[in-house]
Amino acid sequence: MKAFAYAKAPDLAAALAAIEDPGTSVIAGGTEMVNWLKEGIATPERLVDINGLPLDGIDARPEGLRLGALARMSDAAPVVAAEYPVLAESLLCAASPQLRNMASLGGNLLQRTRCPYFRAEVLLPCNKRAPGSGCAARHGETRTQAIFGWSDACVATHPSDFAVALAALDATVIIVGPRGERTVPVTGFYRLPGDDPTVETVLAPDELVTAIDVPAGPHTRASHYLKVRERASYEFAMVAVAAALAHDGGVVTDARLALGGVAARPWRLDRTEAALRGVSLDDTEALRAAVAASFAEARPLAGNAFKVKLAQRATLRALTTAGSRGMVAS
Amino acid sequence: MIAAIGGLRRPDGAAKLTGAADYAADTPVDGVTHAALVPATVATGRIAHIDTAAAVRAPGVLAVLTHTDMPRLKTIGSPPLGQSVLPLQDDTVRYEGQPVAMVLAETFEQARRGAELVRATYADVAVPRAFGDGESVTPRPGLISGNPAGRVGDVEAGLAAATTVVTATYTTPNRHHSPMEPSATVASWHGDQLTVHESTQWVFGTQMALAAAFDLPADHVRVVCPFIGGGFGCKGFVWPHTLLAAAAARVTGRPVKLVLTRAQMFTSCGHQPATTQTLTLGTDDDGRLTAVRHHSVNPTSTFDDYAENATGGTRWMYASPAIDVAVLVEHTSRQTPTPMRAPAEGLGMFALESAMDELAYALRMDPVELRLRNEPAVDPMTGQPFSSRPLPDCLRAAAQRFGWSGRPAEPRSMRDGDELVGWGMASVTMDTFRLPSSARVRLQADGRTIVEAGTQEIGTGLPGVLTTIAAQTLGVDPGSVEVHHGDTDLPETSGTFGSSATMGVGSAVAAAATELRDKLDALAGTGAYPRRLADAGLDSLDAEARWDPAERGEGRSIHTYGAIFVEVRVDPDLGLVRMPRCTATYAAGRIINPLTARSQMIGGIAWGYGQAMLEESILEPQLGRFLSKNMAGYLVPVCADIGDIDVSFIEDPDTDASPLGAKGIGELGAVGVSAAIANAVFHATGIRVRDLPISIERLLNPVWDAPTPTTRP
Ligand SMILES: Cc1cc2nc3c(=O)[nH]c(=O)nc-3n(C[C@H](O)[C@H](O)[C@H](O)COP(=O)(O)OP(=O)(O)OC[C@H]3O[C@@H](n4cnc5c(N)ncnc54)[C@H](O)[C@@H]3O)c2cc1C
Ligand code: SF4
């Protein structure tokens, strides 16, 4: 680990001023950052600690949620459990209780891939860690890698569960920087790798995430987060599905679906969502066909063709579970 | 304090819970220097150049040692060394992760930073040799436990005579021990006296290897290790880091502390090698075996032949007129593998007990019945009588506790909502390793009894077991017994491996305590012993004894047994398996401490669940490295994975094994779990998984594989 300087930011302005310097990185809960420092994945000159900033609010309002970037995962989950089950489930199935007590929501969105080559204790051929060094995973171990949206430069997936649930709920990220405040939908927050997998989000190095807004709606209650993984707890998703539905007597009027573990960003299933409108939740064949509509464009790698099948089955299951919730509620 | 369910609670428990127990890296040493290793980043080649300039200039760095300035060490061979190649002795790179330099600095962080700054370049880098690419060869003697090959009868004739033959290939993956406490060494020299605080399963083996390396008499080396935070085999032998820390301390003239990183734990102290095992079983119409063939091949390093004795259990499990077992190895680019809980039978019984299940389906016979029908009267390979053979009792008892009799045999015949339910079982066995040990017991006039034995406490609760044995033999209160352990200055004991400690050290303590009791009884007077000591004008009286397993059991086939039954729930859409309950009954000699014995078996079953469902260390073929060297990439079970576990024991005191009647239990619990789970998964789904771990993709295939025996007319 390279030595670095450390300072606490007294307020937002100071934090923003600090990160104008490209050698300075932000640390919140530190559950990701400290690992990166130890493995040489991040080598900042300076860390600015933003935990003192008043960004930890968790506000549930009629028009939606405003979640502060520094709210802890374990604090947010119970507040959103009743009206936004998909969010609470995505938080509670992530990491471990100890980690969730430390981990901030903003930090969760900005965690980086679990690609085993990227996470190695030494530098392996990895364009994300060392641009131009190649991608050892492309023709290597691909079991946990992407089936959508990858490029020859990088085939990694984004590991956040929470981001997938947010993407399904059309949440937006509030960003501040020297150019002022802006709002970006979670679906547009992440970049696909293209030629440069080092740039993962639209957040500029001199910007901070301050909050996340989640609009309310009839679909948020009939929602579910399904995380598929071999270990019953404390494992990243092999595939995950966030589903939120509005329906009228079991006939879908509005469906929102996002997948995790399949791409460098939460993967919305636009075609499926469109195809589901007007479909009865009892009509398994129609649901299956609607799900399949989004998978024509799947491009599995040598070792992960099974994820195409798995993701479709998981989507169907999540849809059914979300639908049953709506009916119980109404 | 005797606990309600029977058995003394751990006397060392409070110290461990409160953090007061000292582990090797906790040892305070004045003026200590911190060491960090620089591992090779290629799997095969030669060191071309090592640029240490930046490291040497880094803050706090005192020295950087490479093969050019490291003292030449002498070898004692393996075991006690884990591998024959000594560290930093030449420029050849034989495996990824091999140390190529060592940085010494004032702090741990400075040492690690220094290690990052060392730049090694390599020449003659070749494509790593992967398992499956090369030739399988007969292992050279050395790192082989047991006899890798053997044959009785005529297997071909037995197969020709068979009416049902099942043959299949089973594979198990590379696995890493991953104890909670990483390996650590603190070494200091005083003249030519070396003291080492080490996380080891064998203080005397470490002493032997260090004495040999530095050409010292054994009594110039003291190794201390009261507690180990788990080992599971990776601390059984002596690995490069221990020699390096001691050598660096000699070079610098300062004490050196070397703690391996988690990543280094994947390349520094062995691993369980993958196995590819082919099983062929033939039976007559009644399900009586006519032939058994079990061949296994495992990868080893290019420089040592570690043969994983996977076919061991097949030698004595079932009656058959013809048995043929063999273990071959393949030379690959990796560190030398090493035993891991449970070695040998832990791997082989997955194959044998899966094949027995396949055979039961081919015969349309209950799998328990098939096993009972093939119960041998004597060891089928050696003809020796068994010292005890309670396998049928275990099978019947566990089947009854589990409620097996109601099981419909057809796969996919039990459901609960969307889930498929399956019941599977397996027989369990483990070889009994009996190793000599010594101990001393002293009774003091102040009423305290001191038990002294060099052995280390690995977490199994050995101090409690020794307390129980001493207290029972002497007829004193367990609360008055103190156990001193973990130091080569104490009486010599064997390693804490091969499930041998309770039997070996326990027998030595029993012998010493018996001798002491005789001495005490010979004292004049009556009343309690302390009183008699005082009356005789003595402060204390002691006795030391050595137990040698050679004294008994000659000509006997001595093993432990068990039976395990599991229920699995399979989500067929998502390929997920969960194990809500498991029942296991064991016969493993006299159970000295039911409380810790039960804990051992529960831990073993959880360990076996990991083998069945989660654990796999992928050796990346292009890079020749274990890909994920961390606990987020190498998954072991968590509490949420483990359902109800019902453990019971059958009384089976075996005085052929030891005077206590005790045998080894530490690894037995990990055996058979994977086969029972795979068999239950077949019962639930109709999918036969022959490759571990049972991952999602292996179950997504919706095709129901009907069993495919070759049935002869
Ligand atoms: C063992 C383990 C298992 C895990 N399992 C899961 C899982 O199953 N599912 C899951 O979703 N996650 C999982 N995580 C990830 C975990 O949720 C994240 O580590 C955590 O949310 C990060 O938050 P933090 O506050 O600790 O971030 P930090 O480590 O402090 O920071 C992470 C990154 O975010 C940046 N950052 C933080 N806050 C801001 C801000 N407000 N504005 C701009 N940049 C910011 C930092 O600069 C840094 O780049 C796991 C983590 C670990 C270590
Ligand atoms: S997939 Fe991406 S993160 Fe993984 S090795 Fe390739 S470039 Fe690096």
Q: Which pLDDT tens digit goes with each residue over A71-107?
A: 999 999 999 999 999 999 999 999 999 999 999 999 9
B121 and B261 fall within a common domain: yes
Q: Is B28 among the domain residues?
A: yes
B241 and B192 belong to one structural domain: yes
Indicate whether B462 pLDDT > 50. Answer: yes
pLDDT 10s digits, B136-161: 999 988 776 666 789 999 999 999 99
CA gap B415, B430 in Å, rounded: 34
Residue B337 DSSP code: P
Is B445 found in the same domain as B339? no
Residue B1 has pLDDT above 50, yes or no: no
pLDDT band at B4; cut points 50, 70, 90: very low
| Same domain membership, residue B375 and residue B315 | yes
Question: Rounded to a whole number, what is the distance in Å from the CA of A116 to chain B's nearest CA?
Answer: 6
Query: Which residue's alpha carbon is nearest to atom 4 within ligand 1?
Result: A95
Residue B423 lies in a domain: yes
Predicted local distance difference test score (pLDDT) of residue B712? 42
Query: Within 13 Å, how many C-alpha atoms sit on residue B13's CB side?
Result: 10
- A128, part of any domain: no
At a CB cut-off of 8 Å and minimum separation 6, what does A211 contact?
A55, A57, A66, A67, A68, A69, A173, A174
Closest CA to ligand 1's atom 5: A95
Relative orientation angle of helices A284-292 and A306-329, to the nearest 10 degrees:
130
Are B561 and B626 within 8 A, CB to CB?
no
CA distance A252 to chain B (A): 23
Chain segment B70-129, per-residue pLDDT in tens: 999 998 888 899 999 999 999 999 999 999 999 999 999 999 999 999 999 999 999 999
Residue B662: pLDDT band by 50, 70, 90 thresholds? confident
Q: Give residue A327's pLDDT.
A: 56
- Residue-wise pLDDT for A174-211, tens only, equals 999 999 999 999 999 999 999 999 999 999 999 999 99
Domain count, chain A: 2
ipTM rounded to 2 decimals: 0.96
Please state the rounded mean pLDDT for residues B681-703: 90
In a domain, B371, yes or no: yes
Domain end marker among B505, B525, B547: B547
DSSP assignment of A114-147 equals: --TTTT-SS--SBTTTSTTS-BTTTTS--TTS-S
The CATH number given to whatever domain includes residue A280 is: 3.30.390.50
pLDDT at A273 > cutoff 90: yes
In a domain, A173, yes or no: no
In-domain check, residue B139: no
Contact B94, B44 (CB under 8 A): yes
Residues of A in contact with B628 (CB under 8 A): 116, 119
By the 8 A CB rule, do B323 and B314 touch? yes
Tell me how many domains chain B contains: 3
B540 and B602 together in one domain: no
Residue A58 is assigned to a structural domain of this protein: no
Domain assignment present for residue B76? The answer is yes
In whole angstroms, what is the distance from residue B576 CA to residue B684 CA?
12
* pLDDT, tens only, B525-555: 888 888 899 889 999 999 999 999 888 889 9
Calpha distance A283→A275 (Å, rounded) = 13
pLDDT tens track for B37-78:
999 999 999 999 999 999 999 999 999 999 998 999 998 888
Together in a domain, B190 and B284: no
Q: Judge whether B663 lies within some domain.
A: yes
Q: Is residue A278 part of a domain?
A: yes
Q: Is residue B4 part of a domain?
A: no
The region of weakest confidence among B349-353, B579-583, B654-658 is: B654-658
- Does position B675 have pLDDT exceeding 70, yes or no? yes
CATH number of the structural domain spanning residue B213: 3.90.1170.50
The answer to whether B99 contacts chain A (CB < 8 Å) is no
Query: What is the reported pLDDT for B499?
Result: 74
Ligand 1, pocket residues at CB < 6 Å: A 25-33, 69, 94-95, 99, 102-104, 106-108, 110-111, 159-162, 208-209, 236; B 632
Closest-lying ligand to the alpha carbon of A125? 2
Exposed (0-12), middle (13-18) or buried (19+): which is B56, by Cβ within 10 Å?
A: middle
Neighbouring residues of B579: CB distance < 8 A, sequence distance ≥ 6:
B566, B567, B568, B569, B609, B613, B641, B642, B643, B677, B680
What pLDDT is stored for residue B5 in this prediction? Answer: 45
Least CA distance to B263: which residue of chain A? A121
Reduced DSSP (H G I as helix, E B as strand, rest coil) percent helix, strand, coil of chain B, to 5: 25, 30, 45
In terms of domains, do B475 and B413 share one? no
8 A C-beta contact, residue B233 and residue B82: no
- The pLDDT value recorded for residue B325 is 97
pLDDT for A18-60, tens place per residue? Answer: 999 999 999 999 999 999 999 999 999 999 999 999 999 999 9
Tokens 């309310």 belong to residue: A216
Give helix B673-685 / helix B345-363 axis angle, nearest 10°: 30
Residue type, A201: T
Flag whether A176 is in a domain: no
| Rounded distance between C-alpha atoms, residue A174 and residue A212, angstroms | 6
Tell me the chain B residues in contact with residue A230 when contact means C-beta distances shorter than 8 Å: 576, 613-614, 635, 693, 695-696
Distance from CA of B112 to the nearest CA of A (A): 7
Q: B641–A231: do the CB atoms touch at under 8 Å?
A: yes
**Does A290 fall in a domain?**
yes
Ligand 1 center to A126 CA (angstroms): 21
Within 8 A by CB and 6+ apart from B518, the residues are: none
pLDDT for B238 beyond 70: yes
Residue B131 forms part of a structural domain: no
The average confidence (pLDDT) of chain B is 93
**CATH number, domain containing residue B455:** 3.30.365.10
pLDDT at B210 exceeding the cut of 90: yes
B506 and B574 assigned to the same domain: no
End residue of a domain, out of B547, B568, B589 = B547
> Which residue segment(s) compose the domain that A229 sits in?
224-323
Task: State mean pLDDT over B301-330.
Answer: 96
Q: What is the secondary structure of B61-88 as a DSSP string?
A: EEEEEETTTSPP-----TTTBSSSPPTT
Average pLDDT (A2-16) is: 96
Measure the CA–CA gap between B59 and B221, rounded to whole angstroms.
33
Residues of chain A above pLDDT 90, percent: 97
B335 and B258 belong to one structural domain? no
Are B67 and B102 members of one domain? yes
A34 in any annotated domain: yes
**pLDDT at residue number B502:** 82
Q: Which of B621, B638, B696 sits opposite A306 (nearest CB)?
A: B696
Chain B positions in Cβ-Cβ contact with residue A2 (cut-off 8 Å): 113, 116
Is residue B713 pLDDT above 70, yes or no?
no
Task: List the domain range (segments joined by +) for residue B155.
Answer: 149-174+271-432+555-711
d(C-alpha A196, C-alpha A154), whole Å? 8
Distance CA B204, CA B307 (A): 24
B527 and B565 housed in the same domain: no
Give residue-wise pLDDT tens across range B267-288. 999 999 999 999 999 999 999 9
Q: What CATH number has the domain bearing residue A10?
A: 3.30.43
pLDDT band at B593 (very low <50, low <70, confident <90, very high): confident
Q: Identify which of A119, A235, A317 has the shortest CB distance to residue B635.
A: A235
The pLDDT assigned to B145 comes to 64
Ligand 2 pocket: which of A39, A113, A117 to mutate (most atoms <8 Å of CB)? A117
Asked whether residue A143 is domain-assigned, the answer is: no
Place of tokens 């349309």: B364
B343 and B428 together in one domain = yes
User: What average pLDDT does this structure show over A145-161?
Assistant: 98
